[in-house]
Structure 1
Amino acid sequence: MKYRKFECTVCGHIYDEEQGEPEEGIAPGTLWDDIPDDWVCPECGAAKADYVEIAPA
């Protein structure tokens, strides 16, 4: 499976599907589309809608 990464346009926090956010209750391997729409950036509190997908390197 090819995992994607998303960046918060407010603070630059990276959400990596492969790593998840275990400290926020999001298990490794959780796809972006499976994260609730009311989830917010753990660094700055920005909305999920404020994230953009990062092109693979």
Structure 2
Amino acid sequence: MSEVIEYKSWVCLICGWVYNEKDGLPNEGIPAGTRFADISADWRCPLCDVGKSDFAVVEF
């Protein structure tokens, strides 16, 4: 039986943009499946330019 991988979504608390770990951001060099914690510390929200500290994990 294969293990189910749980991916999370992270929402920007400032503008509402959502980063999905399952999808990644291939256009920004972040492959699908990349955990939010594994994104560079200096990464910025592509919509409003705030840092990772302004994101929170969300459950849909």
**Both proteins in one fold, TM over 0.5:** yes
Q: Which amino acid aligns with 2:23?
A: Q
Q: TM-score, normalised by structure 2?
A: 0.88
Whether 2:16 is the aligned partner of 1:12: answer yes
Q: CA deviation at 1:24?
A: 1.2
Q: Which runs of 5+ in 1 are unaligned?
A: none
Whether 2:53 is the aligned partner of 1:46: answer no
Matched length: 56
Q: Give identity over the alignment, percent.
A: 39
Structure 1 residue corresponding to 2:37, chosen from 33, 39, 42: 33
Q: TM-score, normalised by structure 1?
A: 0.92
Give, in whole Å, the separation in 2 of the partners of 1:29 and 1:5. Answer: 11
Cα-Cα RMSD: 0.7
